[in-house]
Chains A and B, each alone.
Chain A
Amino acid sequence: MELLVAIAIGALTASGVYLMLRQRSFPVILGLSLLSYAVNLFIFAAGRLAPELPPIITKTAAGYTDPLPQALVLTAIVISFGMTAVLVIMAIGAFLTSGDDRVSTGDAEEEA
């Protein structure tokens, strides 16, 4: 199972990075989203895998998985959602005002 999780993280990362390296805003946003999936899974994996041991305190539980990474992932998910939303709207704004959804800015220097 551990190997599968690791591979999934790797696949998501690779896919995310590849899309991030595209020239248009939409694939870049998708790539960053995939990367954030990978990262969330990675943080989760940092608490190791413990199937059937949810961190809900009961008298009968055989044990608990590490709850802290889960809490961290929750925070990370929310933050990356907010960031993605901002990036999306900025990309829309850039597209609407410049007529182009390329992420590169061409000649970087503004005309003086």
Chain B
Amino acid sequence: MTLALIAALPFLGALIAALSIPLGRSMTTLVAAACTATALVAILSYLPQILSGQVITWQLDWLPQLGLNAEFRLDGLSVLFAMLILGIGLLIQLYARFYLDPSDPFGRFMAFLMLFQGAMLGIVLSDNILLLLVFWEMTSLSSFLLIGYWNHLAVGRQGARMALAVTGAGGLSMIAGMMILGHVAGSYTLSDILSQREVIQASPLYLPALILILGGAFTKSAQFPFHFWLPHAMAAPTPVSAYLHSATMVKAGLFLMARLWPVLAGTEAWFLIVATTGLITMAFAAKVALFKDDLKAILAYSTVSHLGLITFLLGLGTEQAALAAVFHIICHATFKAALFMVAGIVDHEAHTRDIRLLGGLRRVMPVTFIVATLATLSMAGVPPLNGFLSKEMMLEEAAHTAWLGNSWLIPALATIAALLSVGYSLRFLAHGFLGQSRNDDTYSPHDPGFGLLASPALLAVLVVAIGLAPMPLAAWLVDSAAAAVTGGHPHAHIALWHGLESPALYMSLLAFGGGFMILGSYDRLRAMWDAFPRPEAKPIFDAGLNGMTAAARALTQGLHNGDLARNFAVAIAAMLALALYAFASGSHSAGTRAMAEVPFDAGSAWVVLTLATLAATVMHHRRLLSLLLVGIIGLILSAGFAYLSAPDLALTQITVEVVTVVLMLLALNFLPDTTPQESTSLRKLRDAVLAGAAGLAVAALAFALLTREAIFAPISAFHLAQSKPGAGGTNAVNTIIVDFRGFDTYGEIIVLGIAALLIYALVEGLLITKWRNEPDAADPDAGDAHPVMLRVATRLILPISMMVGVYLFLRGHNQPGGGFVAGLVFAIGLVMQYLASGIEWAEARQRFPFHGLIGAGVLIASATGLGSWAAGRPFLTSNYGYFHVPLVGEVELATAALFDLGVFLCVLGAVMLALNGIARLAKGSS
């Protein structure tokens, strides 16, 4: 079976487990276990090759551009870890089947567990460090799900989030580290990287890469000061704790350090960071474990301590230390998994894990007691169990190691750690299983059935067997794994007795003596411990995270406070600053274009315009007045356009102006008549300064443009030249909008159409919602709302405006005018009817489908454009011809005119639909 397939098996198991939920818990367990077992057998089938020193690889390109490929590798180290992950995984599956309550969603549990197993297996099988990262982060995610499995418990949720935060952060740090490492090594493939020791260690990027990668490893393996998440992860169901904290999750960091040992280890920095952290963690956590009361908490801190031990060994950077590390990984996995399961059994039977309430279980749970004793003594490092062997190897290494020239510090700390370890182990056993029961509850604990006991018992057998016969049972595995770690050919000589000259013997004896003394004087020690306040990690972490969240919230709420004026101010200030910077950093010279002179009437119009603008600003609180002033400004602009050779603009401006003012008047019908004075003087000053700056900047830019010629010949020369011969019209502006740039106009009428539909939809929505604010309903009977004169006049205006509209439409192609203006003129005529005669009157006579006009307009414009497809031309290609019509004379018919008809219809429909909508709203309000 290929490595990729093996790596995929647990994920497949997760899927099948999720799907097999309806089949019941045993079936789910069975299918999941079948996947795990298959993977295990497949791994074992490679064992002969691995033991003979081969490395199995498998690869498939995934993202070669980055160097992220599906590359897998099986060597001594990965075989060891794969066996632990899958082997203990099987035991956990069996145990969990009987541990979890029938009310727990078991299928979900198994699916999460298999996801986690797959992620772990992926880590150890990866031959590509980016792929390894993928699996690495997936362990964080799947462990999040597992730890939070009992999501009705607040501690479960919080523990899960804490684990995710710490290991997730570490994972991110590792991403950076791995990307540096791969860059330095020139490849992300592990096999390539492992041969680049000199290159990597010589690189100036070595230290940053090392620190970042260790950030990932230390958080995952709960090294001080990142250890605090692990005890809180104990909120998970015990099978999860047993799995994550004996053989898998926390071992991932160790695996990584072992995996990259050949290229990262052996430097001063490596030793100082890794060995020191390991040693501190080992001693510190052992001390904390001594004073915990929850069985699982004791085991959790013990785990941290043992992880520190292994980290310390890896940090030493010697071959012998690596052998010891590898061996202790095996030993720790066996006894710690067994112990967690024992803790679970006790919890299950005695309904508490508080060691102060336990005691005397030896009598009622004899089998469990035997298993617990063997595993605990192994944890304490008592011969002839396997924990003793690996601890001796550690002490031996520690005895020979100096720290920054100091030769006693490390041996002393290691001995203290071992001593504390004996202490908490003995307490675990003595207070938990020996003596009298301190539990007043009526539960009568007894040994559980085979399902719960089988797994820990099997592990206890291994504990003894490896302890008694380490060479035949474990040495070959240790050798092959250590060979993969060091790249050399180390041989382990594991023995119970190393002779009287071994310093480890004395250190061990010291540890045993001290451990018993601790047990003997536990109450006094405990009183001392309790008397001193000490920082608790969780409150600090929570306070930190909550503080961060609160700060983030405050910052975000402050920044995004919904104050439009401030947002405008910031945006405008940014725009001005950027434009000014761009201008100042470029080269510029004053314009040389001759300026036009100012005739008197233009000058006076300018004065009125400027004054009106100023007045509209100053008097904006009086809304109607300011609206009228804006109308006046629009009229002057229109006149200005006419004067400055833009008759089409003038026409459009004035018609749009009329419609806009009507619209705003209607709006004022709803909105308050005045704007309250609510700005402070300072605020007004700020706004005035900003407004002034913006005005100045735009004026300066406009002046600069007005006083110079274009650098390159403008494309409009073509439009002027081709207006008549090419587009068949003498009005160049019109030929541009309906022909040369007809596509712009196509978009423009659609904008207008959408605007109208949107207004219609909004009005429809508003008509059925409850209003907080009823506008002042005009009394329908009050006064002469619709004066007769006005009514008559407007009814006369309607046909006139229609005629004017048609006229403007027809001549548009050659003279100022066109479909847009025509549509507006038409619309104005109709709107007048509304204003003068009231909505009901007008509506009764104008049951007109304005929607249809918009649709028809868009479709006519589209069809005109599409018509040219028939001639094999692109969209909107125009065609025209001249026809003789009696009485009228020569008439030009151009497809552009048809397009303009679409524009006309769309504009008319849009304006009418929009105004009609607002009018309906007014009616709806009264």
Contact = CB atoms under 8 A, between A and B. Distances in A.
A13 B762 contact: no
The prevalent SS among residues of B at the interface is: helix
B644 interface: yes
A14 B641 contact: no
B625 to A, nearest CB: 11
A104 B562 contact: yes
Interface centre among B614, B698, B705, B917 (most CB of A within 10 A): B698
B671 A26 contact: yes
Contact of A67 (B569, B707, B733): B733
B688 A3 contact: no
Contacts of A54: 645-647, 816
Contact of B910 (A8, A51, A82): A82
A13 to B, nearest CB: 4
Given A6-B702, A71-B736, A101-B671, A95 B773 contact: yes
B737 interface: yes
B678 interface: yes
Contacts of A58: 730
B687 interface: yes
Interface in B731-749: 731-733, 736-737, 741, 744-745, 748-749
B202 to A, nearest CB: 53
B572 interface: yes
Contacts of A5: 702, 706
A53 B751 CA distance: 31
A112 interface: no
A48 B709 CA distance: 8
Interface string A77-112: 111011111101111110111111101111111000
B198 interface: no
Given A56-B732, A71-B737, A74-B820, A96 B562 contact: no
A90 B603 CA distance: 39
A108 B730 contact: no
B649 A73 contact: yes
B699 A6 contact: yes
Contacts of B696: 10, 14
Contact of B565 (A21, A41, A99, A106): A21
B672 A78 contact: no
Contacts of A70: 646, 648-649, 733, 736
B860 to A, nearest CB: 17
Contact of A66 (B609, B716, B917): B716
B659 interface: yes
Interface in A20-64: 20-30, 33-34, 37-38, 40-42, 44-58, 64
A45 B702 contact: yes
A13 B646 contact: no
Interface stretch (B254-262, B501-509, B592-600): B592-600
B641 A44 contact: yes
B620 A27 contact: yes
A76 to B, nearest CB: 9
B557 A108 contact: yes
The prevalent SS among residues of A at the interface is: helix
Contact of B557 (A13, A47, A109): A109
B557 to A, nearest CB: 7
A1 B602 contact: yes
Given A34-B630, A67-B733, A96-B670, A8 B703 contact: no
B671 A67 contact: no
B700 to A, nearest CB: 7
Interface centre among A44, A54, A90 (most CB of B within 10 A): A54
B475 interface: no
A14 B691 contact: yes
Contacts of B593: 48
Nearest to A90: B762
Contacts of A26: 623, 667-668, 671-672, 675
B634 interface: yes
Interface string B187-209: 00000000000000000000000
Given A3-B595, A6-B699, A81-B656, A67 B616 contact: no
A57 B732 contact: yes
Nearest to B610: A11
Contacts of A90: 762
B52 interface: no
B660 A45 contact: no
Contact of B755 (A12, A82, A109): A82
B730 A4 contact: no
Contact of A57 (B633, B709, B723): B723
B664 interface: yes
Contacts of B918: 89, 92
Nearest to B553: A109
Contact of A101 (B649, B672, B703): B672
Given A10-B696, A91-B671, A75 B745 contact: yes
B699 A9 contact: yes
A71 B743 CA distance: 12
B675 A24 contact: yes
Interface centre among B641, B694, B820 (most CB of A within 10 A): B694
Contacts of B610: 7-8, 11
Given A1-B598, A45-B706, A97-B772, A68 B714 contact: yes
A88 B562 contact: no
A49 B560 CA distance: 43
A18 B684 CA distance: 9
Given A28-B564, A95-B670, A33 B914 contact: no
A81 B659 contact: yes
Given A42-B702, A82-B751, A18 B564 contact: no
Contact of A65 (B645, B659, B670): B645
B627 interface: yes
Interface centre among A22, A72, A74, A79 (most CB of B within 10 A): A74
Contacts of B565: 20-23, 103-104
B627 A30 contact: yes
B527 interface: no
Nearest to B716: A68
Contacts of A45: 702, 705-706
Interface stretch (B157-165, B266-274, B285-293, B763-771): B763-771
Nearest to A86: B755
A27 to B, nearest CB: 5
A19 B572 CA distance: 13
A103 B737 CA distance: 36
Given A51-B645, A73-B649, A83 B716 contact: no
A17 to B, nearest CB: 4
B623 A21 contact: no
A30 B618 CA distance: 13
Contacts of A109: 557
A10 B695 contact: yes
Contacts of B687: 17-18, 21
Given A8-B610, A89-B758, A98-B772, 20 more contacts: A10-B696, A14-B696, A15-B617, A18-B690, A23-B679, A26-B667, A28-B564, A30-B626, A45-B705, A48-B705, A49-B596, A53-B645, A57-B723, A67-B723, A77-B653, A81-B660, A85-B914, A86-B755, A100-B773, A104-B561
14 contacts: A2-B707, A5-B702, A26-B671, A51-B643, A55-B645, A56-B814, A74-B737, A75-B741, A75-B745, A79-B748, A84-B663, A97-B769, A107-B561, A108-B562
Interface of B: 557, 560-565, 568-569, 572, 593, 595-598, 602-603, 606, 609-610, 613-614, 616-617, 620, 623, 626-627, 630, 633-634, 637, 640-641, 643-649, 652-653, 656, 659-660, 663-664, 667-668, 670-672, 675-676, 678-679, 687-688, 690-692, 694-696, 698-703, 705-707, 709, 714-716, 719-720, 723-724, 730-733, 736-737, 741, 744-745, 748-749, 751-752, 754-756, 758-759, 762-763, 765-766, 769-773, 775, 814-816, 820, 907, 910, 914, 917-918, 921, 925
Nearest 8 CB-CB pairings of A with B: A10-B699, A14-B695, A99-B772, A105-B562, A82-B755, A18-B691, A6-B703, A67-B732
